Amino acid sequence: MIIFLFPLIYKVLTEVGALRLATYGREDCYVKLIKVHNATCPTNAQIVEEELNRFYSSAVVNWNVSIGETITEDELPNLNYDDFLTGNVGMVSSYTSVMRRIYKYYNRTYGNDKNTLYLFFINHPNPDKAGFMPVAGDYGFIFNFGKDYRNNFEILAHELAHGAFNLRHPFSLKSTYQLPRGSTDNLMDY
Ligand SMILES: [Zn+2]
């Protein structure tokens, strides 16, 4: 299956892009990928960068990807995996305590850049979703990355659209556009 930006996200992103083009030129976005415990996490930032920039090619956005420090099990033991389960319907707007524990630990230990988004990679025994990132959030969580190469990069692009561009699911009650869930092939419709 060929995945590309469908009209809804295309429209929103080009509006965002056009607005920024008028004032700043091409917008650089920064994202850091962090492996938690033994999770599968990309090790080649360049590949992720190319994949994200392909999803966002119609928008005036240029992703810059880097690999952050791994959080080992010795550093942060006994993660409560049940606490990652927020349900896969709709949009949860705040982080759970295990999510806060992870990003606070990372910030405290390795620092935090205000212009960077952070994606934490988690291997979960029984995940209820592929990714989680609140609208306008600085931190995202990706579950069990690597099972399907192409779908996994779509998940990254999707979650980053929540965090970086405040995009909601088209079926969300708070969305500008009210569309039934699963009625489009839009990147944000799942
Ligand atoms: Zn989403």
pLDDT 10s digit of each residue in the chain, 190 long? 334 444 445 555 555 544 444 444 568 999 999 999 999 999 999 999 999 999 888 777 899 999 999 999 999 999 999 999 987 555 667 899 999 999 999 999 999 999 999 999 999 999 998 999 999 999 999 999 986 655 689 999 999 999 998 888 877 777 665 667 776 667 777 6
Q: How many CB atoms lie within 10 A of CB 124?
A: 17
Distance from Cα 158 to the centre of ligand 1, integer Å: 6
Is residue 128 domain-resident? yes
Query: What is the domain range of residue 111?
Result: 28-165
Q: In this predicted structure, what is the pLDDT of residue 94?
A: 87
Pairing verdict, β 131-132 and 116-122: unpaired
Q: How many domains does the chain have?
A: 1
Q: In this predicted structure, what is the pLDDT of residue 139?
A: 97
33: tokens are 């990928």
Distance from Cα 177 to the centre of ligand 1, integer Å: 15
pTM here? 0.81
Is residue 11 domain-resident? no
Q: In this predicted structure, what is the pLDDT of residue 59?
A: 73
CATH number at residue 154: 3.40.390.10
Is residue 14 domain-resident? no
Q: In what order do the strands lie in the sheet with 139-143?
A: 61-67, 27-35, 116-122, 139-143, 131-132
Is residue 22 domain-resident? no
Is residue 57 domain-resident? yes
Is residue 150 domain-resident? yes
Distance from Cα 139 to the centre of ligand 1, integer Å: 13
Q: In this predicted structure, what is the pLDDT of residue 190?
A: 67
Distance from Cα 111 to the centre of ligand 1, integer Å: 27
Is residue 32 domain-resident? yes
**Is the CB of residue 21 less than 8 Å from the CB of residue 60?**
yes
Distance from Cα 92 to the centre of ligand 1, integer Å: 9
Distance from Cα 180 to the centre of ligand 1, integer Å: 15
Q: In this predicted structure, what is the pLDDT of residue 118?
A: 98
Distance from Cα 88 to the centre of ligand 1, integer Å: 9
Is residue 100 domain-resident? yes
Distance from Cα 176 to the centre of ligand 1, integer Å: 15
